[in-house]
A and B are shown apart, each in its own frame.
Chain A
Amino acid sequence: MSNMFERFRNKWHQSIKGFVTILASEIAVPIDVQAHYAKTIQTHNAVSVGASGNSNSSYIDCDGFDKVAFTVLNDAATNSSVETHWSNDGINAHGAETLIVQSTSPNKVGISDIKARYVRVQLKNADTVAHTMSAWVYLKA
């Protein structure tokens, strides 16, 4: 009984006097961020985008991610651009923006903050013949 009392008194004294024991394992050591979680999704697998046409991907769930990057391959150096469509339900588009403006570069890249729960990629072919295009998105947390 006296042992219990001793322990309680010591504990009480420690808290009163501000004595705190910090073990090494309890210390939050500042460290560099070793890695970010990222996820790669191919939205277009070498699809044939018609002359002056476009091709939409399916909606991708961005929940838990901060940014999304895009890369696009065109089979030739012809005019094309990329739009992103943002949605809160994964069905209807509630916001659209031109992420990559029209250019003849066959390899395009862009990045955006997450603006809604779901996003889809629209590849736009501005040439007078069809082109084969691939696209990927990279979700970053």
Chain B
Amino acid sequence: MTFKNPPEVNGIMQLNEQQILAIQTELQQIEDAFVPTEEQPVCDIQYLTATYNKQNVGNEINGDTMIYCRAYGLEPEV
């Protein structure tokens, strides 16, 4: 058995800037379209990642990559 790599395990995937920005845009669209329900009251990591993955079968990401992509290009908090 070989070792698995992200997104099949935790860790940040190796992506180029173009891929990161494309993921970032799609994540923002998912977040904007989110409507709270009793089952899913907040737009959390599991929801964002799972919804992105359902829309991108074959190009899935994991939660660590999702967090990295969302924060990419943002100014660090002081």
Contacts and interface: CB of A to CB of B under 8 A. Distances in A.
Contact of B8 (A49, A73, A129): A49
Contact of A46 (B49, B54, B57): B49
A75 B50 contact: yes
A75 B48 CA distance: 11
Interface in A20-43: 43
A109 to B, nearest CB: 16
A48 B10 CA distance: 9
B7 to A, nearest CB: 4
Interface in B52-69: 53-54, 57, 60-64, 66
A120 to B, nearest CB: 11
Contact of B10 (A45, A73, A129): A45
Contacts of A129: 57
A55 B60 contact: no
A75 B54 contact: yes
Interface-centre pick from A45, A75, A130 (highest chain B CB count, 10 A) = A45
Given A56-B4, A130-B57, A130-B60, A44 B50 contact: no
A114 interface: no
B70 to A, nearest CB: 12
A126 to B, nearest CB: 16
B71 interface: no
A100 interface: no
Interface of B: 4, 6-10, 45-46, 48-50, 53-54, 57, 60-64, 66
Interface of A: 43-50, 53, 55-58, 73, 75, 129-132, 134
Q: Which 9 A-B pairs have the closest CB atoms?
A: A46-B63, A45-B63, A75-B50, A48-B60, A46-B49, A132-B50, A48-B7, A47-B62, A134-B46
